[in-house]
Structure 1
Amino acid sequence: MDIFKQFLLLAITPLLWLGFSASALAQNFDVEEVSVMPYQQTITRTGRLAFKKTVNLSFKASGYLEFLAVDEGDYFEKGALLAALDNEELKAEKNRRFAELLQAKREYKRAQELFEKALNTEQELDLAKTNLESIRNVYQAAYYNLEKAKIFAPYNGVVLSRNTDLGELQAPGSPALQVAALEKNWVVKIALTDAEISQVRLGQIVDVMLPSLGQVKGEINRIPMIANTANSLFLVDVLLPELVLKQGVVAGQMAQVSIDVSSPDSVYRLPIDALVAIDDNGDAIIVTQQGSEVSQRSLPIYKLDNQFIYLSATSDQSDLTVVVRGWQHLDVVK
């Protein structure tokens, strides 16, 4: 009898072990409960710091540069005199044109008096009036040229480049200085795809990471209407309103921009590891658990990224218990 028991025990033990191993293997998976939520995503892009606006300052008239108060990298205050031409010739021109204007006024007044006495014709009066207007325009141009022989600072700013030197002859309209404002003039330029550009809006607040200052707040300031023809991307400006030029940042520095976007669409968000496969209809195959039962099901894919899979849902759908790891060991996976 003892020999029979020993034989029976030896026969049953492997079967018990196999059953235990299969049961343990079947339970070797992780689940996660997921709820319906609005679709949310963070778009992260790297761009370069740049000036939102720069201005080229030039003279309206020609002349030799007589005064230069700034050089590249110098700061200045609004209204400060930055540069000036030798204006002796311009003064002489203005005075000469003023004398001509006075003479034209006298001639027009005399023509009026003669016309009232019927001693000249209406045509002669009109000619005197036309001459007066013509000379007045010439005088105003000479006066304007004299005034524009000096360059005053349009705002508190910094000189980016100096394109001239003392004693050089300046041509009208030729840039003498390139300047930029100190405040509310920093932007980070980032490129977005056509799908991403539809999810951002003007005035949206974003996070910007700068190497020297850490994280600061930015604001989407410009969204182009058309994409860049070279790469089909949209170049967006992120304004840094609290950043000033003297804080140790320079144009060309790299900066990382994080934009949180959301939509009214409802989704289930699952770790990418929960994706078993994609069926012939393009739906995601996942494994869910209800009570002690596990089953395989398919749901439409809303979006995929490197970390998560987003499955389309409606706001009234119930929570799902999803097998996120270990589904490979389950018999329900075909």
Structure 2
Amino acid sequence: MEIQVHAITLAVALTAAAVLPQAGFAQNEGGEYYVVQQARGASTVSLGGTVIPYKEVTLSAQLPGRVKHLAGIEGDTFEKGTLLVALDDSELLAKRNAALAQLANADAQLRAAGVQYNRELWSPQSKQAMGGMGLPNLFDQMFTRPMESFSGNRNQNVERRADLYASGVQITQAQNAILSAQSQIQAIDAKLRDAISLAPFDGVIMKKFVEVGDTMQPGQPLLIYADVEYLQIMVDVPARLRPGLYEQMMLEAELDVTGQVVPVRVAQIFPTADSQRHTVKVKFDLPQGVSAPGMYVKVRLPDLTAPEMNHPIIPVSAIRYNGSLPGVYVVGKQGRPELRLIRVGESLDRGLVSVLSGLSAGEQILRNPPNGIASGWSDSLDRR
């Protein structure tokens, strides 16, 4: 009889050992147990932001004209220096040819003026032809002109200086004509450069506003071009959270589509705040290949003004919804699962979530309740 009692006691002890949780969870007929843990640390705030390209430019028309070339459509990638958009430049090319002709004429005038200046400098009398056998002109030079200078009616030195000055003026005018023609060519070349839009860096066409044949006016946008190899998150951070951030600080962000939690880095904190919204723009660097421009992302920021976080944490898989009310299955005193309503807090990493009320640390819940589980109700929403 005593041997049978000891055998029954041993069997009960083995059964109890199998039910006790180990390392936070255990197994029973209703599923896996999880021992509610207590989370401690600085409070965090999740703020929504938009994924933006690392670099983005809007190419606009700089002069009127018709679009004659468009490199591609949205999503097409190009290397730096590739021709993206070109406007019709026929009129500019015609003006440039006319300016080149003016430059050639001015250069010819400069050479002619130089020849005339040298002639006046070294042979001032060569432009006066000698008549007859040359004796009348020779007699005039030897007797008539010296007598005119002697009588004060004529000064040959003054006349020569005037002729030299007039020849120098012709040289200066020709040089100015050359500079004017060169300036016109430079202005036309600048407009020719404005007639085309080259890729400023390796990137992708994000949006185009024109088609081939459209007539453009200065200032109209042509297309948006961006570098999407590296992405960032733009977040408007409340001013009260600004002291808890610094550049190169590592934080976590949750992707809206997949729910994946990825590390992000504070890349830039804008120096001024918005006077209307009292927020500061902050950019965060994203890992490559985890998102796309325009997507929504939630960044977890530390809140130094809030009290230290001290809430229970449970797996997300343990939550079941009765309509819109979240609840978990708590193991009661008799080992039966009881559905208890809770108030869910912030999502954490590794598939955990904080609980604002309804649970206390040390309680056992079902980690992943199976479908059709029978339970009692427990209205302990205000328990902590």
Match of 1:249 among 260, 270, 292: 292
Question: Quick check: 1:82–1:151 contact (8 Å CA) kept in 2?
Answer: yes
Structure 1 counterpart of 2:250 = 205
Q: Deviations for 1:53-111, whole angstroms, at most 9, x for unmatched residues?
A: 42122344432212223123433333332222233333222222122222223334444
Matching of residues 26-37 of structure 1 within 5 Å: none
Q: Deviations for 1:276-295, whole angstroms, at most 9, x for unmatched residues?
A: xxxxxxxxxxxxxxxxxxxx
Question: Quick check: 1:156–1:182 contact (8 Å CA) kept in 2?
Answer: no
Match of 2:268 among 222, 228, 241: 222
Q: Does 1:190 align with 2:192?
A: no
Please identify runs of 4+ aligned residues in structure 1 that moved more than 6 A. none
Structure 2 counterpart of 1:236 = 282
Question: Quick check: 1:189–1:237 contact (8 Å CA) kept in 2?
Answer: yes
Note the residue ranges of structure 2 that are not aligned, 5 or more in a row. 1-40, 122-163, 313-344, 347-359, 362-384
Question: Quick check: 1:94–1:146 contact (8 Å CA) kept in 2?
Answer: no
In the aligned structure 2, how far is the partner of 1:202 from the partner of 1:70?
38
Match of 1:153 among 189, 196, 199: 199
Matching of residues 76-115 of structure 1 within 5 Å: 76-112=78-114, 114=116
Question: Quick check: 1:65–1:165 contact (8 Å CA) kept in 2?
Answer: yes
Change in 2 beyond 3 A, CA 1:178/1:143: same
In the aligned structure 2, how far is the partner of 1:106 from the partner of 1:76?
46
The alpha carbon displacement at 1:178 in A equals 1.5
Change in 2 beyond 3 A, CA 1:215/1:115: farther
Q: Which moved more, 1:122-131 or 1:172-181?
A: 122-131
Question: Quick check: 2:54–2:227 contact (8 Å CA) kept in 1?
Answer: no
Larger strand proportion, structure 1 or 2?
A: 1
The alpha carbon displacement at 1:180 in A equals 1.2
Question: Quick check: 2:113–2:167 contact (8 Å CA) kept in 1?
Answer: no
Q: Deviations for 1:172-215, whole angstroms, at most 9, x for unmatched residues?
A: 3432111111222x221222233321221123232222134623
Q: Deviations for 1:248-305, whole angstroms, at most 9, x for unmatched residues?
A: 6241x2211124588xxxxx968489xxxxxxxxxxxxxxxxxxxxxxxxxxxxxxxx
The alpha carbon displacement at 1:139 in A equals 0.3
Q: Deviations for 1:146-179, whole angstroms, at most 9, x for unmatched residues?
A: 3443322222222222222221222234321111
Question: Quick check: 2:42–2:308 contact (8 Å CA) kept in 1?
Answer: no
| Corresponding pairs, count | 231
The alpha carbon displacement at 1:119 in A equals 5.1
Which one-letter code corresponds to 1:98 in the other structure? L
In the aligned structure 2, how far is the partner of 1:271 from the partner of 1:59?
58
Q: Secondary structure at the match of 1:54?
A: strand
Structure 2 counterpart of 1:258 = 300
Q: Secondary structure at the match of 2:85?
A: strand
Structure 2 counterpart of 1:135 = 181
Which one-letter code corresponds to 1:206 in the other structure? L
Change in 2 beyond 3 A, CA 1:199/1:53: same
Change in 2 beyond 3 A, CA 1:107/1:197: farther
Q: Which moved more, 1:111-120 or 1:154-163?
A: 111-120
In the aligned structure 1, how far is the partner of 2:253 from the partner of 2:42?
19
Note the residue ranges of structure 1 that are not aligned, 5 or more in a row. 1-38, 263-267, 274-305, 308-323, 326-334
The alpha carbon displacement at 1:237 in A equals 1.6
CA RMSD of aligned residues (A): 3.6
Q: How high is the TM-score relative to the length of structure 1?
A: 0.58
Question: Quick check: 2:103–2:177 contact (8 Å CA) kept in 1?
Answer: no
Which one-letter code corresponds to 2:239 in the other structure? D
Residue identity (%): 23
Q: Deviations for 1:16-48, whole angstroms, at most 9, x for unmatched residues?
A: xxxxxxxxxxxxxxxxxxxxxxx9554532222
In the aligned structure 1, how far is the partner of 2:62 from the partner of 2:169?
37
Change in 2 beyond 3 A, CA 1:193/1:107: same
Question: Quick check: 1:57–1:179 contact (8 Å CA) kept in 2?
Answer: yes
Change in 2 beyond 3 A, CA 1:227/1:148: closer
Question: Quick check: 2:43–2:308 contact (8 Å CA) kept in 1?
Answer: no
Match of 1:163 among 199, 209, 212: 209
In the aligned structure 1, how far is the partner of 2:242 from the partner of 2:291?
31
